[in-house]
Chains A and B, each alone.
Chain A
Amino acid sequence: MSAPAQRRPVVLLRPVPGTSTIHELWAGTKLIAALGISVLLTFYPGWVPIALVAALVLTAAWTARIPRTALPTIPRWLWILLAIGGITAALGGGSPDIHIGSAAIGLGGLLKFLRISALSIVLLGIGGMVSWTTNVADVAPAVATLGRPLRWLRIPVVEWAAALGLALRAFPMLIGEFRVLYAARRLRPRPELPTRRARRRWWRVELIDMLTAAITVALRRADEMGDAIAARGGTGQISAVPSRPGWADAWAALIVAAVVAAAISSELLLGSTV
């Protein structure tokens, strides 16, 4: 039914329909794994860690049966930007050189560019994996469980988890309201302004109006939510079933830990990679 030229939108915070081992993992495990891997790649952005993590992400995607159509269509401007970056970096040259006949071509710049691109893609992929296999309803209880040790330090983890759960609950509603705001703005005519100064002024007013409208919407939601919380007698339980890891989570944690250990040791042994 849909036209093939249709662009696929970015869909986040919604699990891919269906279930799998990855879907059934405890949300806390997935969060910790994603955070841990992000920290790893921030400290050791070498080729070996990137490749290892990419392999992990691909395996997880395959296990979770995430179809390729889950990926959004990449907009053309991004391709153009990538092309410009790639070409200038390739022109930059640098070691290592490859020799084709008598000409030496320096691949150093291109390799650096490819590594940064691969790093960004892998980092986005990790986020996508969590986002596409986890029901948002499971996130806040998992954070509450994970943060339990922090309660000893008198850190209000329960409050944070409740805020997180409410924010995730309010998120789609707010997005819907912002969509209406934006649509209502599109329905309005754009004044024809002769001078640049008038245009700038119009933009300033427009910006403040949009911001005020968005904040008003959010505040009204917050007030209604405040009433609803008061009607429930304040905060308390946030989940009907206890949130805790199972055996599969131990295995998953072990695999991620092994990948992280392998990545770090390779980096330390090989030194700073190319």
Chain B
Amino acid sequence: MIAALSAATAIIAVVVPFAGALSLLGPVPMGLLAYRCRFRVLIAATIAGGLIAFLVAGMGGMMTVAQCAYIGGMIGVVKRLRRGTPTIVVVGLCAGLVAGVLSVAALAVLSRLRTLFFDAITANVNGLARFLSHVPYLDSAADPLKNGFATLLTYWPWLIGGASVPAVLLVTLIAWWALSHVLNRLSGTGELQKLDIPADAGPIAPLPVRLGDVTFRYPNTDHDALGPVSMTVEPGEHIAVTGVNGSGKTTLMLVLAGQPPTSGTIERAGAVGLGKVGGTAVVMQHPESQVLGSRVADDVVWGLPPGQSVDVDTLLEEVGLDGLAERDTGGLSGGELQRLAVAAALARDPSLLIADEVTSMVDQSGRDALRQLLAGLRERHRMALVHITHYNNEADSAERVVNLTGGGVADNTEMVELAAAPAASSPGHARTSATVLEVDGVCHEYASGTPWVTTALRDVSFVVHEGDGLLIHGGNGSGKSTLAWIMAGLTVPTAGSCLLDGRPASDQVGAVALSFQAARLQLMRGQVDHDVASAAGFSPRDTDRVAAALANVGLDASLASRRIEQLSGGQMRRVVLAGLLARSPRALILDEPLAGVDAASQRGLLRLLEDLRRRTGLTVIVISHDFAGLEDLCPRTLELDSGMVAPASAAAGGAA
């Protein structure tokens, strides 16, 4: 993973030579890797990162990655040994010496390349000298420059060897400084890998399993995340597990998958066998991150023991992905990715399949297909299915429903009601308010002009008025996110125009606020007040304005000093909104604001937005594949279908 990050810096460092700062910071992720993991991991990352860099930037890229690993590995190890700056200075000096000797040796071997480089540079210097000799006042510098450079070159081993010591030392110190700060910020971001389950020996037989008063508490927390829970799972059963966010649904998944509980008893027939043939298989919430192969067929077999063969085509047919075996996984929709994950689980012929909120990040049609797939699985396989969900219609098909009430929080389970897609509507009355955004004939292509061109939007036109509430909905790849970026001025459309108050939106980045789907990516500072202040453009010491901004989105001022990592998903989204709204944007665009948020938080967020719109006349544009509860916030609907405005709503857009 970090290899990819490091390679990313490497490409940028080679492709954009002016972004020198990034190549200086390339060692930091490598250092983090050396600090946290074994040396072997650093080697694997270097090899993988080096090969990727070679693919994108040739030998130079590979060398950059090697350098990053060299310096990063050094500072990471010194950090792990808890040594301070004096140590790193000494180590940096030694590393510089070694690097100097190595580069001199390399240049000595590559004599022809060396001669070519030196000759070319000499030609440049001589040319410069000749130019200077014709410039008044500077002509006296010409000869010393020419001769001095020639003399320097005769001592090239000393020059290059000597220069590499301060150069390496400088890079090392910068990387050390950056790594120290990054580690400081990252400390306390506990709870890393969740499925870090001790391997269990013995014959694999996860079922039947009997849980007796099981509780689970994460390290360094003061309350139980789960339980006490008592339940049994018999072979071939279909059980639905429901409960609000924070009631321990995912923790229950971990316990069923083999995580030892904090207290209580678990009786199993044999070993859990997570991911093993005939054992336990898990499908999780995030569609993208659990697919490990770059190609559909490769992903199905990924991780199977060498030599074991499965009928990939049959499996893909069962989950409704027949004929896609050769496709790249990068191009699949969320629903297709989840079905692929189910196929990979089925390849292990599991006795127990746990599906943990598998539909929450998937659009409507994908959700239906997944639900049908899961409901039909038991007719074809002899396995038990534990389906963790917060959608009521998904729990309906189960034989038994286990309702988690959460550790001490005896809330009633809030289940999300799914709403039917509203027909694209036209505004009931003629609007007289001012025009904010005018999207006129917008077309957008990615990689325009190259063989890889993909069209995201075709001839989209509509108008947004002041105080409007507009829902833009469409399936995967309908271009709705591209449209959001264009309206925020972040992307310049390849054709057509997007005007904000009569001027191109791209000249006024920041005037239209955009809340991205991944709220965490939008929070850059370490602490809530710093982030809100930075997003809004005032000083974090201005506590009144921070408090006002937080109050505006229904957050208590006491949250101001909280660290970003300690916020819940719903709180993160509100903090983002606080920062964006504090700048009084002309319009607010929300990209999938409800994805992955539980029912109670969804309702709270919607109520907040409705209130804001009514109270302050805020113009709100929501990009979503969800419809539930959005009718009040967004009276107007625009449907996008493969980059075009769907016919029914074209009238609405045009008439508006």
Contact = CB atoms under 8 A, between A and B. Distances in A.
Interface of A: 1-3, 6, 8-14, 16-17, 31, 34-35, 38, 42-46, 66-67, 69-70, 72, 85, 87-94, 108-110, 112-113, 115-116, 119, 123-124, 126-127, 130-131, 134-137, 139-141, 143, 156, 159-160, 163-175, 177-178, 180-181, 183-189, 191, 207-241, 267, 272
Contacts of A131: 55-56
Given A92-B127, A222-B1, A228 B52 contact: no
Interface string B24-64: 01001100100000001000110111011011111110000
A12 B279 CA distance: 40
Nearest to B452: A11
Contact of B55 (A8, A139, A185, A267): A139
A170 B284 contact: no
B7 A1 contact: no
Contacts of A8: 447-450
Interface centre among B49, B329, B345, B447 (most CB of A within 10 A): B447
B131 interface: yes
Contacts of B293: 137, 165, 169, 238-239
A interface majority secondary structure? helix
Given A177-B518, A218-B5, A232-B344, A112 B195 contact: no
A240 B536 CA distance: 51
Nearest to A130: B55
A91 B4 CA distance: 43
Nearest to B120: A112
Nearest to A214: B5
Contacts of A123: 58-60
Given A8-B449, A14-B452, A233-B303, 15 more contacts: A1-B494, A9-B450, A35-B54, A43-B113, A70-B451, A93-B127, A137-B295, A159-B44, A167-B45, A167-B49, A168-B294, A215-B186, A232-B302, A236-B302, A237-B306
Contacts of A225: 1, 289, 292
A208 B178 contact: yes
A220 B290 CA distance: 12
Interface in B1-16: 1-5, 7-8, 11, 15
Contact of B301 (A43, A191, A237): A237
Interface size range of chain B in the complex: 35 or more
Contact of B57 (A31, A85, A127, A175): A127
B231 interface: no
A10 B301 CA distance: 33
B195 A215 contact: no
B275 A231 contact: yes
A134 to B, nearest CB: 8
B295 A135 contact: yes
Contact of A226 (B60, B193, B448, B449): B193
A89 B119 CA distance: 10
A181 B329 CA distance: 23
Contact of A183 (B115, B273, B485, B525): B485
Contacts of B312: 240
Contacts, number: 370
B452 A43 contact: no
B322 to A, nearest CB: 15
B509 interface: yes
B567 interface: no
B644 to A, nearest CB: 13
A180 B521 contact: yes
A186 B15 CA distance: 21
Given A88-B124, A186-B509, A225-B1, A235 B113 contact: no
Interface in B292-339: 292-295, 297-298, 300-306, 308, 312, 325, 328-330
A167 B182 contact: no
B495 A3 contact: yes
Contacts of A11: 447, 450, 452
A215 B36 CA distance: 13
A166 B295 CA distance: 12
Contacts of B348: 232-233
Contacts of A42: 59, 110, 113
Contact of B274 (A221, A231, A237): A231
A211 B178 contact: yes
B521 A88 contact: no
Given A43-B110, A164-B52, A231-B274, A207 B284 contact: no
B196 A230 contact: yes
Q: Which are the 5 A-B pairs with shortest beta-carbon distances? A: A233-B275, A109-B123, A232-B303, A91-B127, A88-B127
A209 B524 CA distance: 6
Contacts of A160: 44, 47-48
Contacts of A267: 112
15 contacts: A2-B494, A11-B452, A88-B131, A94-B126, A113-B123, A156-B40, A180-B518, A208-B178, A216-B189, A219-B189, A226-B193, A232-B292, A237-B306, A240-B300, A241-B297
A209 B302 CA distance: 36
Contact of A238 (B286, B298, B516): B298
A116 B120 contact: yes
Contacts of B120: 89, 109, 112-113, 115-116
B289 A228 contact: yes
Contact of A69 (B7, B181, B451, B525): B451
Interface centre among A115, A180, A231 (most CB of B within 10 A): A231
Contact of A169 (B306, B329, B521): B329
B284 A227 contact: yes
A46 B112 contact: yes
A212 B58 contact: no
Contacts of A235: 303
B234 interface: no
B268 interface: no
Contacts of A210: 524
Contacts of B345: 231
A12 B55 contact: yes
Contact of A87 (B25, B113, B117, B127): B127
A23 B374 CA distance: 38
Contacts of A237: 301-306, 308
A11 B25 CA distance: 24
Nearest to B41: A163
B583 interface: yes
B123 A89 contact: yes
A166 B1 contact: yes
Interface in B212-271: 257
Interface centre among A135, A185, A240 (most CB of B within 10 A): A240
B579 to A, nearest CB: 8
B510 interface: yes
A131 B312 CA distance: 28
Contacts of A207: 21, 25, 178
A216 B181 CA distance: 13
B436 interface: no
A90 B130 CA distance: 10
Given A222-B2, A226-B193, A230-B193, A69 B524 contact: no
B447 A9 contact: yes
A234 B348 CA distance: 13
Interface centre among B123, B126, B289, B534 (most CB of A within 10 A): B123
B353 to A, nearest CB: 11
Contacts of A72: 450
